[in-house]
Amino acid sequence: MKKLMELEMMIKRVSDYEPFKAVDNSEIVEVIGIPTTNTKEVSLALAKIKPGLKTANHYHNFTEIYMVIKGEGIMHINDEIKDVREGDNILIPPKSWHFIENIGNQDLLIWCICTPAFTNEETILE
Protein backbone atom coordinates (compact mmCIF):
# COMPACT_ATOMS: atom_id res chain seq x y z
CA MET A 1 0.00 0.00 0.00
CA LYS A 2 1.38 3.40 -0.98
CA LYS A 3 2.00 5.93 1.82
CA LEU A 4 0.44 9.35 1.37
CA MET A 5 2.44 10.97 4.16
CA GLU A 6 5.63 10.08 5.97
CA LEU A 7 4.16 10.02 9.49
CA GLU A 8 4.59 7.32 12.07
CA MET A 9 1.69 6.01 14.13
CA MET A 10 1.59 7.54 17.60
CA ILE A 11 -0.47 6.26 20.48
CA LYS A 12 -0.51 8.54 23.52
CA ARG A 13 -2.34 8.38 26.83
CA VAL A 14 -3.36 11.14 29.21
CA SER A 15 -1.29 9.33 31.85
CA ASP A 16 1.84 9.89 29.70
CA TYR A 17 1.84 13.59 30.71
CA GLU A 18 1.56 15.76 33.80
CA PRO A 19 -1.33 18.26 34.06
CA PHE A 20 -0.54 21.98 34.12
CA LYS A 21 -2.46 25.22 34.56
CA ALA A 22 -3.39 26.58 31.13
CA VAL A 23 -3.49 30.21 30.08
CA ASP A 24 -7.32 30.11 30.52
CA ASN A 25 -6.98 28.83 34.15
CA SER A 26 -8.18 25.28 33.44
CA GLU A 27 -6.08 22.25 34.34
CA ILE A 28 -4.81 20.74 31.07
CA VAL A 29 -3.10 17.59 29.92
CA GLU A 30 -1.95 18.13 26.34
CA VAL A 31 -1.80 14.70 24.75
CA ILE A 32 -1.09 15.62 21.13
CA GLY A 33 0.29 18.98 20.03
CA ILE A 34 3.42 21.01 19.52
CA PRO A 35 5.06 20.49 22.96
CA THR A 36 4.23 16.78 23.26
CA THR A 37 4.45 15.33 19.75
CA ASN A 38 5.59 18.28 17.61
CA THR A 39 2.26 18.06 15.77
CA LYS A 40 1.38 21.46 14.28
CA GLU A 41 -1.78 20.61 12.30
CA VAL A 42 -4.00 19.65 15.26
CA SER A 43 -3.85 19.35 19.04
CA LEU A 44 -5.76 17.30 21.59
CA ALA A 45 -5.92 18.15 25.28
CA LEU A 46 -8.02 17.08 28.25
CA ALA A 47 -9.23 20.05 30.30
CA LYS A 48 -10.56 19.89 33.87
CA ILE A 49 -12.58 22.68 35.47
CA LYS A 50 -13.34 22.22 39.17
CA PRO A 51 -16.90 22.74 40.53
CA GLY A 52 -17.82 26.42 40.85
CA LEU A 53 -14.94 27.60 38.65
CA LYS A 54 -14.77 28.89 35.07
CA THR A 55 -12.13 29.46 32.44
CA ALA A 56 -10.94 32.95 31.56
CA ASN A 57 -12.71 34.71 28.69
CA HIS A 58 -10.45 34.41 25.65
CA TYR A 59 -10.28 33.77 21.92
CA HIS A 60 -7.92 31.99 19.57
CA ASN A 61 -6.87 32.57 15.99
CA PHE A 62 -7.74 28.90 15.31
CA THR A 63 -10.81 26.64 15.40
CA GLU A 64 -11.50 24.75 18.62
CA ILE A 65 -13.94 21.96 19.46
CA TYR A 66 -14.98 21.02 23.00
CA MET A 67 -16.24 17.49 23.66
CA VAL A 68 -17.84 17.37 27.12
CA ILE A 69 -17.17 13.93 28.61
CA LYS A 70 -18.15 14.50 32.24
CA GLY A 71 -20.12 17.07 34.21
CA GLU A 72 -22.27 20.03 33.30
CA GLY A 73 -21.60 23.66 32.60
CA ILE A 74 -22.56 26.86 30.87
CA MET A 75 -20.81 27.64 27.59
CA HIS A 76 -20.33 31.27 26.58
CA ILE A 77 -19.40 32.08 22.96
CA ASN A 78 -19.54 35.78 22.08
CA ASP A 79 -23.09 36.81 23.13
CA GLU A 80 -24.52 33.26 23.18
CA ILE A 81 -24.97 31.27 26.39
CA LYS A 82 -26.00 27.58 26.45
CA ASP A 83 -26.17 24.83 29.04
CA VAL A 84 -23.85 21.92 28.19
CA ARG A 85 -23.39 18.46 29.62
CA GLU A 86 -21.75 15.10 29.01
CA GLY A 87 -22.11 14.12 25.36
CA ASP A 88 -22.26 17.69 23.99
CA ASN A 89 -19.82 18.83 21.31
CA ILE A 90 -19.22 22.56 20.86
CA LEU A 91 -17.71 24.25 17.80
CA ILE A 92 -15.80 27.43 18.69
CA PRO A 93 -14.97 29.38 15.52
CA PRO A 94 -11.70 31.32 15.27
CA LYS A 95 -11.68 34.75 16.98
CA SER A 96 -14.80 33.95 19.05
CA TRP A 97 -14.65 35.09 22.67
CA HIS A 98 -15.46 32.11 24.88
CA PHE A 99 -15.33 30.59 28.33
CA ILE A 100 -17.04 27.75 30.16
CA GLU A 101 -18.37 27.55 33.73
CA ASN A 102 -18.67 24.40 35.80
CA ILE A 103 -22.14 24.53 37.42
CA GLY A 104 -22.12 20.94 38.68
CA ASN A 105 -20.80 19.28 41.82
CA GLN A 106 -18.13 17.22 40.02
CA ASP A 107 -15.19 18.06 37.78
CA LEU A 108 -16.14 19.22 34.28
CA LEU A 109 -13.97 17.24 31.83
CA ILE A 110 -13.62 18.39 28.24
CA TRP A 111 -11.56 17.15 25.32
CA CYS A 112 -10.25 20.20 23.45
CA ILE A 113 -9.35 19.79 19.80
CA CYS A 114 -7.64 22.70 18.02
CA THR A 115 -6.77 23.10 14.37
CA PRO A 116 -4.14 24.14 13.68
CA ALA A 117 -2.54 23.09 16.96
CA PHE A 118 -2.98 25.17 20.13
CA THR A 119 -0.39 27.83 20.91
CA ASN A 120 -0.29 30.41 23.69
CA GLU A 121 0.74 33.02 21.11
CA GLU A 122 -2.54 32.57 19.21
CA THR A 123 -4.61 32.88 22.41
CA ILE A 124 -5.84 36.32 23.49
CA LEU A 125 -7.12 36.88 27.04
CA GLU A 126 -9.77 39.49 27.85
Q: What's the confidence (pLDDT) of residue 72? A: 98
**In sequence order, what are the residues at sequence separation of 6 or more whose Cβ sits closer than 8 angstroms to the Cβ of residue 26?**
47, 48, 49, 55
Compute the distance between CA of residue 126 and CA of residue 15 in angstroms, rounded to an integer: 32
Greater confidence, 100 or 2? Answer: 100
Mean model confidence pLDDT for the chain: 93
User: Residue 74: left (phi > 0), alpha (psi -120 to 50), or beta?
Assistant: beta
What is the value of pTM for the model shown? 0.90
Res 2 pLDDT > 90: no
**In sequence order, what are the residues at sequence separation of 6 or more whose Cβ sits closer than 8 angstroms to the Cβ of residue 123?**
23, 24, 58, 59, 60
64-68: average pLDDT: 98
| Residue 75 and residue 65 in contact, taking contact as beta carbons nearer than 8 Å | no
Q: What's the confidence (pLDDT) of residue 123? A: 87
User: What residue ranges define each of the domains in the chain, with the CATH number in brackets?
Assistant: 24-118 (2.60.120.10)
C-alpha 111 chain-centroid distance: 5
